[in-house]
Amino acid sequence: MNSSSRVVKAKLPARVIVSAVLIGLFVVGFLVVAVWQSGSTITAAKMTGLIVSKEFQPSAEPEREITLNRSGAVSSRNVAGEYIITVEVPRKDGSKKVVTVWLNDKARYDAVKVGDSFDVGPYYVPSK
């Protein structure tokens, strides 16, 4: 017999196929649960409340504010004072947390009104 006409097929046992499918399903399931759980913590961290007061504290003299951004670029501008808003954020236990937010942009300060909803997440720095 000619050896070139002969085809040898290796047969995989059913146990190997079942094991591979189960491992694949476990890995995909683990990834789905991990992504779902990581998104739930971000939602829980969102702190949105109602603005209860606005306050502008003018400085005695206009100040020059110098800012260094992440890329290292330096910018400066004149600042007339501090733009402060106070936000009441409801907690899960029913109490309310008062958060003071300092805005550095007059346009943003003028855009919000007392009673508006405000997300303090980007501005909030927890105390130690």
Q: What are the residue ranges spanned by the domains of the chain?
A: 3-44, 47-119
Q: pLDDT tens across 79-91, in order? A: 788 889 999 988 8
Output the CA torsion sign for 37, 40, 44, 47.
Answer: positive
What confidence tens digit (pLDDT) does each residue in 3-58 have?
567 877 778 888 999 999 999 999 999 999 988 887 766 665 678 889 999 999 88
**pTM beyond 0.75:** no
The pLDDT value recorded for residue 106 is 83
The total of other beta-carbon atoms located within 10 Å of residue 5's CB is 6
Residue 62 in tokens: 């206009």
Give residue 71's pLDDT: 87
